[in-house]
Amino acid sequence: MNNYNLILSSLLISTMTATFIPVFPNQVSHAQKRPAQQSFSWWNIFRIKSPHRRGKGGARPTINGVCIAAPDRGEIVWSDRPFIIWQGNLKKIGLSQGIPDASATDNIQIGQLYATYTGKPLLPAQQYNWSVAIENSWTGNIRFKIMEPQQRQRMTNDLQQLEQQEKAKGATAEGIAFAKAKYFLEQETPLWSDALQQAYSVDKPSPELVKMREEIVKYLCNPN
């Protein structure tokens, strides 16, 4: 019996020791820093916030048969290095405040059916034109406006805080871009150009994002 009691006591002590092993702060921190699993859908936010669903018909600007998916004419844009995306064949893209000339194409980084201005930051509250050429001469333009300084600064602060929160969760670069795109689309007047710019800013997109990029312009330019 003495041996039996001794063995039983040893087992109880071992069980209690295993049950009450302390969790140290560095262990919790390590767990919290694990990369977050993707749990978001690009298509969901863009379809839900689509102009087709907002009673506006979804008509996008068209210049000589080329559809400009974003920005819309007169759109307010947060980014001071804005983005344009289209469906069709364009000869060249430029950005200017007046009549476009050869310098209008400076600092324009062309992708496949989209372009981004990469020069000095544009000025808040100022109007600019994305100018397009179907052939060799300028054909038309899409006028847009950079957001007023106070509103733009508020949104900039929101976006910085949002990025910090996503990084603390262990979000990927795509996860952060998604959170920002969702933020832009949740504004009272959704900022389509800024949201799409986030979607196209991801260097290593997921298969879903690749597919969304392939389909989004068709979706915007062909609402029926």
- Nearest Cα neighbor of 106 from 115, 98, 118, 89 is 118
pLDDT (0 to 100) of residue 58: 52
pLDDT (0 to 100) of residue 44: 84
Stronger pLDDT, 202 or 55, i.e. the higher one: 202
Does residue 32 lie in a domain region? no
Strands (E), 79-118: 83-87, 92-96, 108-110, 114-117
Lowest mean pLDDT among 42-46, 186-190, 204-208: 42-46
Instruction: Enumerate the H helices of 20-130 as residue ranges.
Output: 25-32, 42-48
Does residue 79 lie in a domain region? yes
Number of domains in the chain: 1
pLDDT (0 to 100) of residue 150: 97
Question: Which region holds residue 31: left if phi is over 0, alpha if psi is between -120 and 50, else beta?
Answer: alpha
What value does the mean pLDDT take over residues 53-58?
Answer: 44
pLDDT (0 to 100) of residue 19: 41
Query: Measured between alpha carbons, how far is 223 from 47 in angstroms, rounded to an integer?
Result: 11
Residue 45 above 70 pLDDT?
Answer: yes
Does residue 166 lie in a domain region? yes
Does residue 22 lie in a domain region? no
Does residue 25 lie in a domain region? no
Contact between residue 174 and residue 206 where contact means Cβ atoms under 8 Å apart: yes
Does residue 13 lie in a domain region? no
What domain range includes position 154?
A: 42-221
Does residue 10 lie in a domain region? no
Does residue 21 lie in a domain region? no
